[in-house]
């Protein structure tokens, strides 16, 4: 078979028309119809059309205005002394290259001071981060990174924002990854170019141990004021198909990681481009070496051998069982400048606790502590397991966990932790002023729970006679129910004795557990371990043929909604906002809005509102959308926005907040209008976490549109509001946070996205 085109294709003839580039027809005439240009022509044209459609007309006009030979913008002379030199033009005289580094992008705070606004405008700004609107609602959608590269090839389970939400730790079935939302690279001029989240990059941190849940249970700042310091509670387990994993939930355990170590590990993964991730895979019978290898056995008596067996009854204990129990030592200052000293893979020990270790543990060759020389591996193993040896949690497989924090707590303590296993639920608490979790009680479940969370119930009891309660008229002997922590319920109240045959005793709000099973859900009251099955108020519009199988429950969500009406003010101070707490109970395609704490007879209590979805959601997240500070949006009233994540994508419903004041025991409220919207791009998706203000990224990057002060920086969730002096602004900024979610784009292609936004003129730019 002869092929006349075996040589490398080159343009032998100049195309007609002078120095113009050749067309597809010219190339086809020169090299024949079987040329690679003809084969790839359709693909090239398709990619060119896709790139052209991805650019908005505003961005195309902005690129035209940013051409060659443009006059530079005037820069104040006073700002040159405070800013580093930026190279914008090549040197006129040939000579050795001179390196200049642009350090503006290395600062943690995106916003600059008012005196630096003019000078920052002179530097080339990255293209805007475009968000698409899910019409006709006010919800906006943002994607991160390239649309051709997945964030994970396996199911994404959780995320944890770090470093003012510039980094996102992504937990998935295979391990842990980090998403760099503002990647940096060296420019041709010697500076550092900061890219937008459109070009975010994902780096795999470790593989072999999947991460299924992550929560920051304590956070603070280090001595330098820049590095975050705290404790991260994580649910980890072997990846599917590993030798130590027999099923999907095998060998999952809870660990308390050092937040500083995870942050350093994420930065290391971003800096080491192309490096292999850490391999944390372990054999099914992996154990720490307990005896020295290739060494002479010490001569001793039988008594010494028996003594060693008594002192170490479990020579085959795993590495997790030999770590310290308390994680308060993890918050001690550690070296984080990239050159930490060599130490063991256990967390740093307190100096006061060091003498308690036996000399043989520290100085002899029989130590069971492995020495890790690799710094990234030491960061990855800087954790303390929650399960202690011989505890109820030791050897159990953890399904999920839930954390309850006291809203009015000051300082440490006031936390409850519920851990769900295959056959029971374990309750832990952190007393006030302490850090370590302590076991409280254990609840048995009739079947394996899928998920758990905390909620509050209003508990009332009706007695038949006064003697049954007071014991012969002594009112001081009335029983008062209390829960495990004194900070998780309101003050106890009861109705006064009336002398009637029956009276009502009000125990106030009581903390309870909401347990979701495969086909039903139940509640467990912590104070007296009372249990019950969850039921929703009867809805006459529900039809039996809507679902072929029993509808599934999803975890309830609590929210604090503002009550429509004028705000109250005291002695001319800033007006105080009136709010009301509600809970959203979802089963199947129905979501009921009920007061929180949940009423005693909630099954017969009329719902404040009932929302119907097109398909059963996996999670429902409420958001309160408030108008912007501009004049055009000040007349818009706040409204409720409900976002549902399910197998068919995102579904949005927006409604007025008037049902809060109208629906007080008078039946279902009727609404003037309900805005419904769906997204036709994202398919199967789920909820990850709340946070982020990515709809305002253009205002934060462009200095000419800065309208906020330095106290409200880009990290609005962790900024300091001491200068504002009011909780209303803090609550409003908290409500403006968006929602992170995951979606399955294809087989082996899972992505992280963000939805959010608030009504205002800047949202439509």
pLDDT tens readout for residues 190-246: 788 888 888 899 999 999 999 999 999 988 776 666 667 899 999 999 877 766 555
More confident residue, 378 or 367: 378
d(CA 751, CA 385): 30
SS3 501: coil
Tens-digit pLDDT profile for residues 387-429: 888 888 988 899 999 999 877 666 666 789 999 999 999 999 9
Inform me whether the pLDDT recorded for 26 exceeds 70: yes
How, if at all, do strands 201-207 and 278-279 pair?
Answer: parallel
Position 3 scores a pLDDT of: 54
Q: Of 246, 279, 312, which one is at a domain's C-terminal end? A: 279
Inform me whether the pLDDT recorded for 724 exceeds 90: no
Same domain? 638 vs 719:
yes
More confident residue, 682 or 494: 682
Q: For the residues 1-14, what does the mean pLDDT come to?
A: 53
Task: Please report how many Cα atoms fall inside a 13 Å half-sphere around the Cα of residue 726, on the Cβ side.
Answer: 11
Tens-digit pLDDT profile for residues 160-176: 999 888 899 999 999 99
More confident residue, 251 or 113: 251
In a domain, 475, yes or no: yes
Q: Which stretch, 27-41, 284-298, 564-578, has highest mean pLDDT?
A: 27-41
Instruction: Indicate the helix (H) or strand (E) that contains 121.
Output: helix 117-122
Q: How crowded is residue 331: how many other Cβ atoms within 10 Å of its Cβ?
A: 20
d(CA 19, CA 663): 76
Q: 3-state secondary structure string, 570-581?
A: CCCCCCECCEEE
Position 16 scores a pLDDT of: 57
Q: Of 258, 279, 300, which one is at a domain's C-terminal end? A: 279
Q: For the residues 491-505, what does the mean pLDDT come to?
A: 51
In a domain, 508, yes or no: yes
The pLDDT confidence band at residue 567, using thresholds 50, 70 and 90, is low
Position 101 scores a pLDDT of: 37
Position 644 scores a pLDDT of: 96
Same domain? 517 vs 655:
no
d(CA 125, CA 358): 59
Q: For the chain, how many structural domains are there in total? A: 3
Same domain? 559 vs 509:
no
Q: Which of 50-64, 73-87, 210-224, 259-273 has the lowest mean pLDDT?
A: 73-87
Instruction: Indicate the helix (H) or strand (E) that contains 659.
Output: helix 659-662
Same domain? 610 vs 693:
yes
In a domain, 84, yes or no: no
Position 588 scores a pLDDT of: 92
Cβ atoms of 238 and 245 closer than 8 Å: yes
Instruction: Indicate the helix (H) or strand (E) that contains 52.
Output: helix 41-54
Tens-digit pLDDT profile for residues 646-669: 999 999 999 998 888 765 544 454
Position 420 scores a pLDDT of: 95
d(CA 447, CA 449): 6
pTM over 0.85: no
Position 357 scores a pLDDT of: 31
Q: What percent of the chain has pLDDT over 90?
A: 30
Same domain? 518 vs 563:
no
Q: What percent of the chain has pLDDT over 70?
A: 57
Q: Integer distance in angstroms from the first to the last C-alpha of the chain?
A: 60
Measure Cα distances from 315 to 64, 287, 696 in Å.
72, 10, 57
Residue 755: cis peptide before it, omega within 30 degrees of 0? no
d(CA 696, CA 340): 38
Position 105 scores a pLDDT of: 38
Q: Of 250, 279, 308, which one is at a domain's C-terminal end? A: 279
In a domain, 128, yes or no: no
Instruction: Indicate the helix (H) or strand (E) that contains 585.
Output: strand 579-587
In a domain, 133, yes or no: no
> 79: which residues sit within 8 A by CB, 6+ positions away?
115, 116, 118, 119
Q: For the residues 686-706, what does the mean pLDDT come to?
A: 71
The pLDDT confidence band at residue 95, using thresholds 50, 70 and 90, is very low
The pLDDT confidence band at residue 302, using thresholds 50, 70 and 90, is very low
Position 310 scores a pLDDT of: 43
Position 753 scores a pLDDT of: 94
d(CA 501, CA 495): 14
Inform me whether the pLDDT recorded for 522 exceeds 90: yes
Same domain? 723 vs 583:
yes
More confident residue, 198 or 689: 689
Where do we find the tokens 């003012």?
A: 164
Strands (E), 149-285: 156-162, 167-172, 175-180, 184-186, 192-194, 201-207, 209-221, 228-238, 253-258, 278-279
Range of the domain at 257: 153-279
Tens-digit pLDDT profile for residues 354-368: 333 333 333 334 444
Q: Which of 56-70, 422-436, 535-549, 620-634 has the lowest mean pLDDT?
A: 535-549
In a domain, 257, yes or no: yes
In a domain, 207, yes or no: yes
Position 434 scores a pLDDT of: 80
Position 343 scores a pLDDT of: 37
More confident residue, 100 or 150: 150
Position 699 scores a pLDDT of: 57
Position 605 scores a pLDDT of: 84
Same domain? 195 vs 222:
yes
Q: Which stretch, 250-254, 320-324, 348-352, 497-501, has highest mean pLDDT?
A: 250-254
Position 444 scores a pLDDT of: 94
Q: Which of 64-68, 73-77, 194-198, 628-632 has the lowest mean pLDDT?
A: 73-77
Q: Which stretch, 361-375, 404-418, 427-441, 717-731, has highest mean pLDDT?
A: 427-441
Output DSSP code: residue 48.
Answer: H
More confident residue, 300 or 646: 646
Q: Which of 10-14, 306-310, 662-666 has the lowest mean pLDDT?
A: 306-310
Same domain? 707 vs 622:
yes
Measure Cα distances from 236 to 254, 397, 516 in Å.
6, 10, 21
Position 364 scores a pLDDT of: 39
Output DSSP code: residue 292.
Answer: -
Same domain? 636 vs 522:
no
> 284: which residues sit within 8 A by CB, 6+ positions away?
243, 244
Same domain? 485 vs 612:
no
In a domain, 512, yes or no: yes
Same domain? 556 vs 695:
yes
Q: Which of 235-239, 483-487, 693-697, 739-743 has the lowest mean pLDDT?
A: 483-487
Same domain? 609 vs 505:
no
């Amino acid at each position: 078979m002869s092929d006349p085109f075996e040589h490398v294709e080159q343009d032998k003839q100049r195309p007609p028309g002078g120095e113009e580039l050749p067309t597809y027809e010219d190339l086809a005439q020169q090299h024949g119809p079987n040329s690679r240009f003809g084969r790839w022509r359709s693909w090239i044209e398709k990619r060119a059309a896709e790139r052209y459609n991805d650019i908005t007309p505003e961005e195309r006009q902005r690129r035209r205005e940013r051409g060659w030979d443009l006059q530079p913008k005037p820069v104040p002379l006073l700002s040159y002394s405070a800013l580093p030199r930026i190279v914008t033009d090549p040197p006129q005289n040939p000579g050795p290259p001179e390196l200049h580094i642009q350090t503006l992008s290395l600062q943690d705070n995106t916003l600059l001071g008012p005196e630096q606004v003019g000078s920052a405008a002179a530097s080339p700004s990255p293209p805007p981060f475009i968000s698409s609107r899910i019409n006709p609602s006010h919800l906006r959608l943002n994607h991160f990174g390239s649309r051709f590269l997945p964030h994970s090839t396996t199911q994404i389970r959780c995320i944890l924002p770090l470093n003012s939400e510039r980094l996102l730790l992504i937990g998935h079935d295979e391990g842990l990854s980090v998403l760099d939302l503002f990647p940096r690279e060296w420019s041709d001029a010697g500076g550092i170019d900061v890219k937008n989240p459109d070009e975010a990059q994902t780096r795999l941190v470790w593989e072999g141990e999947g991460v299924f849940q992550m929560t920051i249970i304590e956070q603070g700042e280090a001595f330098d004021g820049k590095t975050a310091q705290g404790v991260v509670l994580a649910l980890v387990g072997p990846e599917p198909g590993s030798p130590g994993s027999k099923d999907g939930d095998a060998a999952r355990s809870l660990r308390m990681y050092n937040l500083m170590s995870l942050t350093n590990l994420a930065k290391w993964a971003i800096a080491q481009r192309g490096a292999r991730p850490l391999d944390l895979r372990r054999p099914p019978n992996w154990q720490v070496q307990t005896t020295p290898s290739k060494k002479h056995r010490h001569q001793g008596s039988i008594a010494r051998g028996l003594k060693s067996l008594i002192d170490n009854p479990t020579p085959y204990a795993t590495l997790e069982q030999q770590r310290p129990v308390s994680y308060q030592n993890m918050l001690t200052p550690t070296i984080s400048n990239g050159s930490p000293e060599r130490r063991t893979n256990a967390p740093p020990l307190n100096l006061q606790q060091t003498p308690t270790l036996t000399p043989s543990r520290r100085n002899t060759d029989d130590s069971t502590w492995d020495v890790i020389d690799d710094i990234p591996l030491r960061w990855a193993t800087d954790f303390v397991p929650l399960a202690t040896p011989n505890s109820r949690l030791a050897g159990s497989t953890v399904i999920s966990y839930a954390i309850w924090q006291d809203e009015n707590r000051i300082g440490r303590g006031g936390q409850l932790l519920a851990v769900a296993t295959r056959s029971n639920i374990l309750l832990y608490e952190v007393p006030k002023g302490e850090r370590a979790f302590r076991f409280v009680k254990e609840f048995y479940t009739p079947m394996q729970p899928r998920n758990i969370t905390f909620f509050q119930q209003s508990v009332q009891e009706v007695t038949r006679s006064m003697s049954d309660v007071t014991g012969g008229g002594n009112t001081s002997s009335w029983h008062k129910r209390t829960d495990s922590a004194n900070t998780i319920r309101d003050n106890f109240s009861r109705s006064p004795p009336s002398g009637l045959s029956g009276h009502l005793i009000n125990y106030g709000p009581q903390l309870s557990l909401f347990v979701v099973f495969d086909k039903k859900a139940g509640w467990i009251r912590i104070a007296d371990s009372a249990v019950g099955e969850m039921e929703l108020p009867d809805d006459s519009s529900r039809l039996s043929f809507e679902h072929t199988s029993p509808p599934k429950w999803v975890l309830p969500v609590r929210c604090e909604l503002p009550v429509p009406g004028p705000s109250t003010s005291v002695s001319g101070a800033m007006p105080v906002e009136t709010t009301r707490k509600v809970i959203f109970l979802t089963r199947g395609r129905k979501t009921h809005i009920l007061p929180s704490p949940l009423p005693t007879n909630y099954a017969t209590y009329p719902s404040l509102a009932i929302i119907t979805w097109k398909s059963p959601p996996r999670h429902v997240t409420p958001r309160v959308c408030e108008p912007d500070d501009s004049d055009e949006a000040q007349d818009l009233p706040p409204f409720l926005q409900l976002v549902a994540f399910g197998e068919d994508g995102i579904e949005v419903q927006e409604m007025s907040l008037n049902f809060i004041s109208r629906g007080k025991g008078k039946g279902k409220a009727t609404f003037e209008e309900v805005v419904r919207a769906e997204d036709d791009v994202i398919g199967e998706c789920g909820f990850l976490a709340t946070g982020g203000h990515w709809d305002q990224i253009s205002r934060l990057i462009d200095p000419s549109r800065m309208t906020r002060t330095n106290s409200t920086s880009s990290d609005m969730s962790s900024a300091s509001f001491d200068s504002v002096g009011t909780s209303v602004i803090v609550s409003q900024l908290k409500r403006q946070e968006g929602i992170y979610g995951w979606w399955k784009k294809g087989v082996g292609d899972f992505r992280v996205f963000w939805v959010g936004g608030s009504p205002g003129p800047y949202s439509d730019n």
